[in-house]
Amino acid sequence: MDRSEFLSRFGGVFEHSAWIAERAWDKGSLPAALDAGNVHAALSTEFRLASEDERLKVLRAHPDLAGKLAVAGELTDDSRNEQAGAGLDRLSETEFARFTDLNTRYQTKFGFPFIIAVKGLGKDEILHAFENRIHHTRPVEFETACREVEKIAALRLKAMTF
């Protein structure tokens, strides 16, 4: 696999942040035999080595859960499938209003969207996590959101055929 193929395949694993895959490739530290685990390790290392501002941009690249982009049909394929798998595309008006309120409050408080790896979770579990995490301090929530981004990347990689 050459650089172009690597970036084409793995550039979108971290939402709208191909620079992470670029840095991993350019360091030349990827093993010859790629699998989900070692690609995730390489990409996550670059994410963690990035400045706080760069990581914040990655967090901000994620869409709100059940938010405007979902309603407008403008999510990435991965995000759309992940949110649909959790039932976020089938919310009642009351549930949608609750997500909208939490998205607004969370974004105002932290400056980035609420991020959670939704695979295997239902809308009630997601709402529960949302309602608990909104009370975190910004440093705690920044770290939590970064860990969730890495979980999402791992799940996306595991879904790929190697």
Contacts within 8 Å (CB) and 24+ apart, 104-107: 105/134, 106/130, 106/133, 106/134, 107/64
- The one catalytic residue in 16, 62, 128, 135 is 62
Residues 6+ apart with CB under 8 A from 22: 7, 11
Is 40 a residue of the active site?
A: no
Assess contact for 142 and 110: CB atoms under 8 A: yes
**Residues belonging to the active site:** 62
